[in-house]
Each structure stands twice: as structure tokens, then as C-alpha cells.
Amino acid sequence: MTATKLRKGIVRPLAYRAEEAATALGVSDDFFREHVAPQVRRYRHGRLVLFPVPDLEKWLDHNAALPLEGND
């Protein structure tokens, strides 16, 4: 097993591309681009656009709905 394969399972990404971020959140690419991406900071370098994982987690936490009383 190569070092790259070993690291792949151990190293947690610090940022995702849009498609990866959508998958991580469990939403479609279209939903991510329309509803999430505009509200999350991004890192750009040329054509590369990365979304920091902590910002995606903050978005999810901020947009999580509280359960209604009696609807467990």
C-alpha cells in the first residue's frame, strides 16, 4: 500500500471543490450552487475554487431547523 493510499483514509480535507462540498452536505450540485455557495466563503486561485470545511459546517449549523415540540 502506498503512502498516498494510507493518507487518503486518514487526512481530513480542509476544503472541498463545489461538487465535493455538495456531496459532503448530501445535496445536489445545483442546490449547492444556488443556495449554499452564495452564503459560504471561498478560496479562489485561478480557476480553482475551494470551500473551507469549517465554513460549510457553520452554514449547516446555522441553517439546521429545530424540531417542533411533540414532533420527535
* pLDDT values of the chain reduced to their tens digit, one per residue, 72 residues: 455 655 666 778 999 999 999 999 999 999 999 999 999 999 999 999 999 999 999 999 998 876 766 555
Is there a contact between 56 and 40 (Cβ–Cβ < 8 Å)? Answer: yes
The per-residue pLDDT for 19 is: 96
Select from 44, 30, 37, 34 the least CA-distant residue to 59: 37
39 to 9, 12, 35: CA distances (angstroms): 29, 23, 7
Q: Is the dihedral of CA 5, 6, 11, 12 positive or negative?
A: positive
**Residue that has been written with the C-alpha cell 439546521 in this structure:** 64
Domain boundaries defined on the chain? 13-63
Give the pTM. 0.75
